[in-house]
Amino acid sequence: MKKGQKLYEVRRIKDLRDMVQQSAEIYGDLDAFLVKSPATGKLRNVSFRQFQNDINYLGTALVDLGLKDTMISIVSENRYEWCVSYLAVVNGAGIVVPLDKELPENELQTLLERSDTSAVLCSSEFAELILEKRASLPNLKHIICYDYEKSQDGVLSFAELLQTGRTLVDKGRSTYVDAPIDADAMSMLIFTSGTTEQSKGVMLSHKNVASDIMAVSKLLYADNNDLIMSILPLHHTYECTAGFLTMVFLGVTICFCEGLRHINKNLQEYKPTMMMSVPLILENVYTKVVKKAQKEKRHGSLKFGLFAARTLMKLNIDVRRQLFKEVLDNLGGNLRLIISGAAALNPKVSKALRAMGFNIMQGYGLTECSPIVSVNRLDYYRDGSAGLPVPGIEVDIHNPGPDGIGEIKIKGPITMLGYYKNPDATQAVLKDGWLYTGDNGYIDGKGFLYISGRQKNVIVTKNGKNIFPEDVELYLNKSEYIKESLVYGVDGEGDEDTIVCAKIVPNMEVLVEKFGQVPVPDELYKLIKQEVLKVNKKLSSYKKIKHFEIREGEFEKTTTKKIKRQVELVSLKTISDMFKVFNKNGK
């Protein structure tokens, strides 16, 4: 078998209830979760068998409340109860609607209305808020709080509900446990992050998600000796499918980060072997390592160590963990696998982290595909690519141009049923068995998929040339003086061609460290202008940045750290205003 073609054998599951039952039988009293008490800080172990029981108890209680076949939302931070709730709903109670806990109040209310939610499972910070909104939510029958020991003021206690379900199951109530599962029907309603427009409700089935779990599991080895720390929000399909459900399937123990501010502390406490991440987090890790080396006058040693590690790896000599023990220890000491998704990871960062001893698996996916579509494998990868399609999935390029770039389309059991109450949007993307993703990309001769950017983000010049802003942003973001950037186009006046513009957030921390003080506005502008000019030398003439503006704060982002482009580009300066800042030719 050729390099990169090795697949692990995995057991078959017909739906998520089948998965839970099989895992409970296989792993039994082994740890499914490590759960920290928010009150005492003490850890308790939850076995796979207990996890299955809790799912059945809650599901039975939800059905007893009259919630069978209804829409049930979850709004909470990552925690054990979230996981129990998700599987209790889909495995025989109703349709789960995971919602982003970071949503503004009005957006949260809107999604509860749009989803026809009948019950909400939530943490205490949302219980009172939803109770206040109850009058405007006609379908809402029950609010269930994870943190209330007793039911109060129209809010039910999760603990009491769990006990009620246990009592009913002990008495022989099997309505929930024996409920038939239609693997092809909608069981999950996932609202997209809406980085380019209003969020859509993606309808997924057991078959969709179970197919993706099995496909992903063929590409990596993990078992109950592994511990994964859940950092990314569970309402996002990437974390839910890959970081939660796939781990239950593989028998991996799950623990929860208490928040981004607590990552370092939690890494030392749990010492995980696996972690799901997004590029922003990994790029911060890399930046901290480089800055520490520079501060300690060891930057040359760092670069030599990276070179030596890569060279020796080619000779099948792995000294990475000895060379970079300090870096590994700062991340708990046991971290062996990092899975990166949600956005493109800078190839420079992935190469460096791999040389430091971290195995990186970068992939591509979207909610409409449950979500994992392609993954770089540990022994067969291309930094800069989104990897190879997962087993059983077809990926093709629709209407490729001379450069091979076109719209990515996907066929397979992972593709969604459609958009909730939106047949027009559904018909626009589901055609002849293919899902048209709205992402542009190309496939190289080895089958690796490369993402060029969102179709809706593409800047089309008056001469008909396409500019992918994400590509230009990647060049800008390589500068140590630039923290992040957003590239967009503005139509020129009359026969004037499209003007490529950029909003740039300077990396003030690096600038202060380099120059000993915060640069005054004129100096800051000159520094960033020099970086823009360097980038322009690497770009074709029609891609050159002809205007930029400096932004003080970071861009508004989704919970998976993707820039909300539609928010940032709502208001643009006029052409004449732009040219007051940066001359027309970008020279």
CA 477 from chain centre, in angstroms, equals: 20
Instruction: Report residue 313 as tokens.
Output: 């790896």
CATH superfamily entry for domain 458-581: ANL, C-terminal domain (3.30.300.30)
Count of alpha carbons within 13 Å of 276, Cβ hemisphere only? Answer: 29
- By mean pLDDT, which of 5-9, 28-32, 476-480, 531-535 is the weakest? 5-9
Give the pLDDT score at 66. 96
Sheet with 142-145: list strands edge to edge. Answer: 156-157, 142-145, 117-122, 71-75, 95-99, 186-191, 201-205, 418-419
Tens of pLDDT, residues 309-345: 888 888 888 888 888 888 888 888 898 898 888 777 8
Instruction: Report residue 378 as tokens.
Output: 């540990």
Give the pLDDT score at 455. 65
Average pLDDT over residues 366-375: 94
Average pLDDT over residues 240-244: 95
Nearest 10 degrees: CA dihedral of 158, 164, 165, 168? 180
| Alpha-helix runs per DSSP H in 7-47 | 16-27
Report the C-alpha gap between 113 and 139 in whole angstroms. Answer: 8
User: DSSP class of residue 549?
Assistant: E
Say yes or no to pLDDT of 584 above 50.
Answer: no
Nearest 10 degrees: CA dihedral of 112, 118, 123, 125? 50
- For the chain, state the CA radius of gyration: 25
371 cis-preceded (ω within 30 degrees of 0): yes
Average pLDDT over residues 361-368: 91
Share of the chain above pLDDT 90, in %: 50
**Residue type, position 12, single letter:** R
Sign of the torsion angle spanned by Cα atoms 476, 408, 430, 14: negative
CATH 3.40.50.12780 range(s) for the chain read 16-259
User: Alpha carbon of 373 to those of 132, 218, 238, 490: distances in Å?
Assistant: 40, 13, 11, 33
CATH 3.40.50.12780, domain 16-259, yes or no: yes
279 cis-preceded (ω within 30 degrees of 0): no
Say yes or no to pLDDT of 535 above 80.
Answer: yes
Nearest to 477 by CA among 344, 383, 359, 382: 344
CATH 3.30.300.30 range(s) for the chain read 458-581
Residue 551's CB is within 10 A of a number of other CB atoms, namely: 17
| Alpha-helix runs per DSSP H in 296-397 | 299-314, 320-323, 325-330, 347-355
Average pLDDT over residues 131-147: 91
Instruction: Report residue 287 as tokens.
Output: 């930046």
- Cβ(439)–Cβ(407) under 8 Å? yes
Work out the mean pLDDT of the chain and round it to a whole number: 87
Tens of pLDDT, residues 155-201: 999 999 999 999 999 999 999 999 999 999 999 999 986 544 567 89
Which has more pLDDT, 178 or 474?
A: 178
Say yes or no to pLDDT of 436 above 90.
Answer: yes
pLDDT band at 571 (very low <50, low <70, confident <90, very high): very low
